[in-house]
């Protein structure tokens, strides 16, 4: 199965946005620090997420990004689809040319698996993930770490 870094990072960043939504617009630099994702990579992902109308940008001081819809209505599959990522278990990318231009013996099996994975991810929303206790604990730890690193930076000579 191919779910590349692009899809994983997009879901992680969107979940971070959902987990920190009560703070208002979230700047990508904060997501970058909390999730250890390159800022330039996040900028590319969020351009795609904005085009897909999953996030809105707020300009000016205190600006950043907000979810464009409630987290309960944004599925993980929609996030992955928005960044032009596919969940595909076939070797041929679904083109049916797996064996020297022809369909291989197991092509339909891998196509069905891909469909089931996509269906599973369609049934999981950011809201569901954000409500999980373990996700809340991790998000809290990340916020604490970020706050403490800010204290260290502020006290540096």
- Distances in whole angstroms, Cα of residue 108 to Cα of each of 74, 96, 99, 117: 29, 9, 13, 14
- Distances in whole angstroms, Cα of residue 75 to Cα of each of 15, 18, 72, 78, 120: 11, 12, 8, 5, 10
On the 0-12 / 13-18 / 19+ scale of CB atoms within 10 A, 34 is: buried
Residue 39 pLDDT: 96
- Distances in whole angstroms, Cα of residue 79 to Cα of each of 86, 91, 134: 11, 23, 21
pTM for the structure as a whole: 0.86
**pLDDT tens figures, 21-61:** 899 999 999 999 999 999 999 999 999 999 999 999 999 88
Q: Contact at 8 Å (CB) between 56 and 50?
A: yes
Does the pLDDT value for residue 152 go beyond 90? no
- Beta strand pairing call for 55-58 and 64-67: antiparallel
Residue 1 pLDDT: 53
Backbone angles phi, psi at 65, to 5 degrees: -125, 150
Mean pLDDT of the chain: 89
Q: DSSP E strands: which ranges in the chain?
A: 55-58, 64-67
Does the pLDDT value for residue 150 go beyond 70? no
Residue 119 pLDDT: 95
């Amino acid at each position: 199965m191919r779910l590349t870094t692009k899809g994983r990072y997009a879901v992680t960043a969107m979940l971070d946005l959902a987990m920190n939504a009560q703070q208002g617009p979230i700047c990508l630099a904060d997501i970058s620090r909390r999730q250890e994702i390159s800022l330039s990579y996040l900028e590319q992902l969020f351009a795609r997420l904005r085009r897909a109308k999953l996030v809105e940008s707020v300009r000016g001081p205190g600006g950043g990004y907000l979810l464009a819809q409630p987290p309960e209505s944004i599925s993980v599959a929609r996030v992955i689809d928005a960044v032009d990522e596919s969940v595909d278990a076939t070797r041929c990318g679904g083109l049916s040319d797996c064996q020297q231009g022809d369909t291989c013996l197991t092509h339909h099996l891998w196509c069905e698996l891909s469909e089931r994975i996509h269906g599973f991810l369609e049934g999981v929303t950011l809201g569901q993930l954000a409500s999980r206790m373990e996700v809340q604990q991790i998000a809290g730890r990340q916020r604490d770490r970020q706050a403490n690193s800010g204290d260290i930076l502020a006290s540096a000579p």
